Amino acid sequence: MKENDNLNYKEVRVFKLRGNSMWPFIKDGDIVIVEPTEINNIFLGQIVLAEEGGVFFCHRLFKKKGEFFQTKADTFFGLDPLLEERNLLGKVIAIKRRGKIIRIDRRLHYFMGFFILWFTFFISPFYYILRRLRKIGNNVHR
């Protein structure tokens, strides 16, 4: 990261993401900037980086209870499995897309994340239909 990125955190990790599970908020190829944190420092709806069985993923925090937490992708209806705090690698504080840094660590973003979390239960079926229609359209034009 460059000094002029205005992210004044002691320790951050940078990851390039693949996939569309958080589309359109995070897109395939976006770079996320992750601040290591503990489970008691994240809020429902925040995007977290987690690892399970060697697979890394960024999803919204859906539930936390004690040392356990559960996440949800924006484009899928179901919930991810319940994970232990040791699987939590941090919270996403910014997204870098096309050279611009989009900060998502402000109070407004926490409220937006909570709203988006619940809204995804309604939008997920439409995303699935859109993907199916796009696949059918690609097959027709071949």
Sorted by where each begins, the domain ranges of the chain are 3-140
Which of the four CATH numbers 1.10.260.40, 2.10.109.10, 4.10.320.10, 3.40.640.10 does domain 3-140 have?
2.10.109.10
The pairing of beta strand 68-72 with beta strand 83-84: antiparallel
pLDDT at 130: 74
Q: How crowded is residue 140: how many other Cβ atoms within 10 Å of its Cβ?
A: 7
Q: Mind listing the pLDDT tens digit for each residue in 56-96?
A: 999 999 999 999 999 999 888 889 999 999 999 999 999 99
